[in-house]
Structure 1
Amino acid sequence: MKFSATVTLQYDTIFSSFSPADYLKGLDWMKANHLDGAELCISNYNNLDVAKIKDELDQRGLGCSTLSTGQARGLEGLSLIGVPADVTKKTQERFMQHIDAAKILGSKVTMGLMRGLGSQTTMDKDLKELAEAMKPIIEYADKKGVIICLEAINRYETALLNSAEATVEFIDNGLGNPDCVGILWDLFHANIEDIGYERSIKIMGNKLKHIHLADSNRMFPGYGHTDIAAILKMVKNTGYSEYASFECFNLPSLETVLNETGAWVQKMREL
């Protein structure tokens, strides 16, 4: 298993310990704390040199685990469903840009809230609409050899695909089980929605392509009640060799995150 942390390139995010202006300092911190890569938060590709970013990662011996894509929903209103057709098209095009960047960076692409929120009363219709909107993205990802990580997100943020089980069912039956679509399993959301961690790991199987690390209260691991070490040990026992990436708040403090990450990761490597 490999480890990464979120760093943002354009706009501040609560999940990064560094501002966009300090992006390179963030990469230096990752290298100093023996992380394997970075999860890059990218909203758009205006004046963004992806090849330069790849070089900056390579210089530090870092990979790119995934591209975090959700900022564009809040900043631009991008969504695959529940919006006018021209917005859906623009969102599809943005995902294709992410796929192009991921091809260069050797990373995966996350699909979280930018897929759309839906509602409980129109869930079946929403999921059919989502499957249709994802078709050109899936075709493009398959052509480029890039994995899309569909995130299971709790019910308080979206009505759609809340649990690992629901996400597996959608990939299998809604999308036809394409090879280029897997699951992003966020332990904060799983703590709310999943019946049991071991059960979810078995249900996801080889569809599990990326993990987000955060405790039950979205704090740094060890400051809530989730036994993350036990969960990661179960995941490692399946042969999982992809990334687990920190997506927690800078809590209980920024200093905690900056000072404890290296030692915590080393403990997880020794499981």
Structure 2
Amino acid sequence: MVRIGAHTFAWSPSLRDHEATDIFARIKNSDLDFVEAASYDLDGLSPGHLKDLSDRHGLPHTLCSGLPRGLSLASTDLNKRREAQDHVRRLLDFAQTSGAEKVSGPIHGDLSQLASEPSTSEDWQRLCESYGELAAEIGAWGKPFSVEPLNRYQSSLLNTIEQTQALSEAVDLANFGILVDLFHANLEQTNLYDDLHSHQASTTHVHLCGANRGMIGTCHLDWSRLGQWLRQFPSDYGVSIETFNSHDPLLSHRTRTWRELGAPAEQIVLEGATVLKNLVGAASP
């Protein structure tokens, strides 16, 4: 069955070494199989420390990031685009040193403010050119590199699975694909379940949660159909449960999460892992 991971936004807005130490210890005896270490800037997070934690607890890790400090791979400012590319290179170096299994996230536009203007064809061209200039390094990394489309309130550059599929085809690397996040897809996709199936071959990472980032299996999403979709991935494929800690001021501001989503974030992750294990372990009808 697919492996289930814990996205560290449930605990921290940007993972630090001491937080990673605590999180790995807290989940090592749970139904979780790996940790998705999330940091926008990598400050306070050491690749050697992550590698040591993974080895010590027998929990692999992946790396999730966006572009910090208002950077964008589609910026009209050449220097800003170069800084954004350098951040991607830093992510790749960090992932290589730490032994991460994947690099993923909304690694495309400016995440520092909500989208207020439409992106243009020129923005799209600059995004493709930026990734074209990074293609050799991403290809050399060799492991999955997954770009996440965001909902319309957070981005005007990549909103849908189809748009991200087009980016993947433009970059044309075997390890460059789509991070499908059910929260964003539930808002943006015209035919959610059909779209998930039709783009499954290009989906290199998945973020799961309830429809409002709450408890898995208790919302309006058809978890029977989602279970069928998940069972079609390879048995060693990793998907992560992503929810947010509304009690952390920085994280609640970044994610606009102003209330508890039915349960504390850690409970959503731990209990969600058990639900998912039962779901994907069930025999296909």
Of 216, 220, 223, the residue aligned with 1:225 is 220
Distance 1:203 1:262, change over 3 A: closer
Q: CA deviation at 1:113?
A: 5.4
Alpha-carbon deviation of 1:227? Answer: 2.3
Distance 1:22 1:102, change over 3 A: closer
Contact (CA 8 Å) 2:32, 2:270: kept in 1 or not? no
2:31–2:274 contact (8 Å) kept in structure 1: no
Q: Aligned residue for 2:278?
A: 267
- After superposition, residues 39-188 of structure 1 pair within 5 angstroms as 39-46=36-43, 48-64=45-61, 66-70=62-66, 72-73=67-68, 76-82=69-75, 84-104=77-97, 105-112=99-106, 114-116=108-110, 121-172=118-169, 174-175=170-171, 177-188=172-183
SS at match of 1:32: coil
For 1:198 and 1:30, locate their aligned partners in 2 and report how far apart those are by CA, in whole Å.
Answer: 31
Q: Number of residues paired by the alignment?
A: 260
Unpaired segments ≥5 residues, structure 2: 246-260
Query: Deviations for 1:150-200, whole angstroms, at most 9, x for unmatched residues?
Result: 11211221112211122212322x33x221211100011111111223322
Instruction: Quote how far apart the aligned CAs of 1:240 are.
Output: 6.3
Output the CA distance in 1 between the equivalents of 2:50 and 2:214: 28
User: Contact (CA 8 Å) 1:220, 1:248: kept in 2 or not?
Assistant: no
- CA–CA distance in structure 2, aligned partners of residues 5 and 259 of structure 1: 8
Unmatched segments (≥5 aa) in structure 1: none
- Deviation (angstroms), 1:19: 8.0
Deviations 1:208-248 (A, max 9, x none): 11100122112131343112342132231354642110112
Change in CA separation of 1:120 and 1:228 when aligned onto 2, cut-off 3 Å: farther
Shift of 1:55: 1.3
Residues 27-50 of structure 1 show CA distances to partners (whole Å, capped at 9, x for unaligned) of 122212131110001233456431
- How far 1:106 sits from its partner (Å)? 3.3
> Which region of structure 1 is more displaced relative to structure 2, 119-128 or 80-89?
119-128
Q: Distance in 2 between matches of 1:258 and 1:165?
A: 28
Give me the whole-angstrom Cα distance separating, in 1, the residues matched to 2:269 and 2:116: 38
Q: Residues 223 and 122 (structure 1 numbering): CA distance in 2 closer, same or farther, change over 3 Å? A: same
Q: Does 1:202 align with 2:183?
A: no
Higher relative contact order (CA 8 A, sep 6+): 2
* Distance in structure 1 (CA, Å) of the matches to 2:213 and 2:89: 30
Residue 184 of structure 1 aligns to a residue whose secondary structure is strand
Give RMSD over aligned pairs.
2.7
Q: TM-score, normalised by structure 2?
A: 0.80
Letter in 2 for 1:29: R
2:262 matched to which residue of 1? 252
**TM-score normalized with structure 1 length:** 0.84
Contact 2:106 2:150 in 1 (8 A): yes
Please identify which structure carries the higher helix content: 1
| CA distance in structure 2 between the partners assigned to 1:12 and 1:83 by the alignment | 32
Contact 2:16-2:44 at 8 Å conserved across structures: no
